[in-house]
Amino acid sequence: MKKYAAEKIKNIGIVSHARAGKTSLTESLLFSAGHLTRLGRVDDGTTTTDYLPAETARKVTISTALAPVEWKDYKFNFIDTPGYSDFAGEVNGALRVADNMLLVVCSVSGIEVRTEILWDYAEELQKPRMIFINKLDRENADFEQNIADLQTQFGNKVVPLWIPIGKEDNFSGVVDIIKNKAYDFTNGLKEIPVPENMKDQIEVHKAQAMESIAECNDELLMKYLEGEELTQDELMEGLKKGIKEACLFPVFCGSAYKNYGPELFLNYIAEIIPGAADFPPETDKDSALVFKSIADPFVGKMNFIKVMAGSLKAGQNIYNSTKEKEEKVSHFMVMRGKTSENIDEVFAGDIAAVSKLQFTGTGDTLCYKNNAVVLEGINFPEPVLQYAVLSKNRGDEDKIASAINKILEEDLSLRYKKDPDTKESIIIGMGDLHLDIIKERLKNTYNLEVELKTPKVPYKETIRNNVKAQGKHKKQSGGAGQYGDVWLTIEPNYEEKFTFTENVFGGAVPKNYFPAVEKGVQEAMHQGILAGYPVINIKATLVDGSYHPVDSNEMSFKMAGILAFRNAMAKANAVILEPVMDVAVTVPEVYMGDIMGDMNGRRGRIMGMEAVGKNQVIKARVPLAEMYSYAINLKAMTQGRGNFTMEFAEYEEVPPRLSDEIIKESKKEEEN
Ligand X SMILES: Nc1nc2c(ncn2[C@@H]2O[C@H](COP(=O)(O)OP(=O)(O)O)[C@@H](O)[C@H]2O)c(=O)[nH]1
Interacting residues with ligand X between 126 and 145 (CB under 6 A): 134-135, 137-138
Rounded to the nearest whole angstrom, what is the least distance from the CB of residue 128 to ligand X in the complex?
Answer: 20
Please report, as a single letter, which amino acid is at residue 380: F
62 binds ligand X (CB under 6 A): no
In the three-class reduction of DSSP (H, G, I as helix; E, B as strand; rest coil), residue 469 is classed as: strand
Contact 469, 488 (CB under 8 A): yes
Rounded to the nearest whole angstrom, what is the least distance from the CB of residue 301 to Mg ion in the complex?
Answer: 24
Rounded to the nearest whole angstrom, what is the least distance from the CB of residue 122 to ligand X in the complex?
Answer: 17
Q: Say which entry of ligand X, Mg ion, none residue 365 contacts (CB below 5 to 8 A, set by partner kind).
A: none
463 vs 533: CA distance, rounded Å:
13
- Among the listed residues 61, 85, 303, 586, the single contact to ligand X using CB under 6 A: 61
- Among the listed residues 1, 7, 34, 43, the single contact to ligand X using CB under 6 A: 43
198 vs 430: CA distance, rounded Å:
47
- The closest of 90, 121, 105, 92 to 20, measured between CA atoms, is 105
Name the residue nearer to ligand X (CB basis): 134 or 362: 134
Please tell me what DSSP assigns to residue 190: E
Number of neighbours of residue 415 by Cβ within 10 angstroms: 16
240 vs 634: CA distance, rounded Å:
41
Q: Tell me the number of residues near ligand X by CB under 6 A.
A: 21
42 binds ligand X (CB under 6 A): yes
Rounded to the nearest whole angstrom, what is the least distance from the CB of residue 134 to ligand X in the complex?
Answer: 5
Alpha-helix runs per DSSP H in 375-462: 397-410, 432-446
Name the residue nearer to ligand X (CB basis): 23 or 321: 23
Contact 216, 247 (CB under 8 A): yes
Rounded to the nearest whole angstrom, what is the least distance from the CB of residue 385 to ligand X in the complex?
Answer: 21
Q: Which long-range contacts (CB under 8 A, 24 or more apart) does 111-116 make?
A: 111/149, 111/150, 111/153, 112/17, 112/20, 113/17, 113/639, 113/640, 113/641, 114/15, 114/16, 114/17, 114/18, 114/83, 114/85, 114/640, 115/16, 115/17, 115/20, 116/153, 116/641
Q: Say which entry of ligand X, Mg ion, none residue 230 contacts (CB below 5 to 8 A, set by partner kind).
A: none
23 binds Mg ion (CB under 5 A): yes
Q: Which helix (H) or strand (E) holds 130?
A: strand 129-134
Rounded to the nearest whole angstrom, what is the least distance from the CB of residue 24 to Mg ion in the complex?
Answer: 8
Q: Say which entry of Mg ion, ligand X, none residue 357 contacts (CB below 5 to 8 A, set by partner kind).
A: none
Name the residue nearer to Mg ion (CB basis): 59 or 313: 59
Q: Say which entry of Mg ion, ligand X, none residue 20 contacts (CB below 5 to 8 A, set by partner kind).
A: ligand X
Q: Say which entry of ligand X, Mg ion, none residue 256 contacts (CB below 5 to 8 A, set by partner kind).
A: ligand X
63 vs 83: CA distance, rounded Å:
10
Please tell me what DSSP assigns to residue 632: H
Contact 574, 529 (CB under 8 A): yes
Q: Which helix (H) or strand (E) holds 492?
A: strand 482-492
Name the residue nearer to ligand X (CB basis): 93 or 561: 93
Handedness of CA 84, 87, 92, 95 (dihedral sign): negative
Q: Which helix (H) or strand (E) holds 201?
A: helix 199-215
CA distances 529 to 485, 539, 562, Å, are 21, 17, 12
61 binds Mg ion (CB under 5 A): yes
169 binds ligand X (CB under 6 A): no
Encoded one letter per residue, x for contact with ligand X by CB under 6 A and - for no contact, window 207-246 reads: ----------------------------------------
- Among the listed residues 6, 9, 12, 23, the single contact to ligand X using CB under 6 A: 23
State the SS3 of 86-136. HHHHHHHHHHHHCCEEEEEEECCCCCCHHHHHHHHHHHHHCCCEEEEEECC
Task: Kindly indicate which of the ranges 38-46, 111-119, 231-239, 475-483 contains the residues binding ligand X, using the contact rule CB under 6 A.
Answer: 38-46
Interacting residues with ligand X between 255 and 284 (CB under 6 A): 255-257
Task: Kindly indicate which of the ranges 119-127, 249-257, 292-300, 483-491 contains the residues binding ligand X, using the contact rule CB under 6 A.
Answer: 249-257
Name the residue nearer to ligand X (CB basis): 21 or 623: 21
Side-chain-side CA neighbours of 455 within 13 Å: the count stands at 27
In the three-class reduction of DSSP (H, G, I as helix; E, B as strand; rest coil), residue 104 is classed as: strand
Rounded to the nearest whole angstrom, what is the least distance from the CB of residue 107 to ligand X in the complex?
Answer: 8
Bridge-based pairing of strands 300-309 and 415-418 is unpaired
Rounded to the nearest whole angstrom, what is the least distance from the CB of residue 258 to Mg ion in the complex?
Answer: 18
Rounded to the nearest whole angstrom, what is the least distance from the CB of residue 667 to Mg ion in the complex?
Answer: 51
Task: Kindly indicate which of the ranges 252-260, 283-291, 327-335, 542-550 contains the residues binding ligand X, using the contact rule CB under 6 A.
Answer: 252-260
22 binds Mg ion (CB under 5 A): yes
Interacting residues with ligand X between 489 and 548 (CB under 6 A): none
146 binds ligand X (CB under 6 A): no
32 binds ligand X (CB under 6 A): no
Rounded to the nearest whole angstrom, what is the least distance from the CB of residue 202 to ligand X in the complex?
Answer: 23
Task: Kindly indicate which of the ranges 14-22, 559-567, 613-621, 628-636 contains the residues binding Mg ion, using the contact rule CB under 5 A.
Answer: 14-22
- Among the listed residues 19, 292, 306, 434, the single contact to ligand X using CB under 6 A: 19
- The closest of 84, 29, 35, 79 to 59, measured between CA atoms, is 84
162 binds ligand X (CB under 6 A): no
For residue 412, count CB atoms less than 10 angstroms from its CB and return exposed for 0-12, middle for 13-18, buried for 19 or more. buried
- Among the listed residues 13, 21, 89, 484, the single contact to ligand X using CB under 6 A: 21
Q: Which helix (H) or strand (E) holds 611?
A: strand 605-612
- Among the listed residues 4, 10, 13, 22, the single contact to ligand X using CB under 6 A: 22
- The closest of 22, 60, 25 to 39, measured between CA atoms, is 25
Interacting residues with ligand X between 70 and 129 (CB under 6 A): 83
Q: Say which entry of ligand X, Mg ion, none residue 43 contacts (CB below 5 to 8 A, set by partner kind).
A: ligand X
428 vs 408: CA distance, rounded Å:
11
Interface with Mg ion (CB under 5 A): 22-23, 61
Residue ranges in contact with ligand X by CB under 6 A: 16, 18-24, 41-43, 60-61, 83, 134-135, 137-138, 255-257
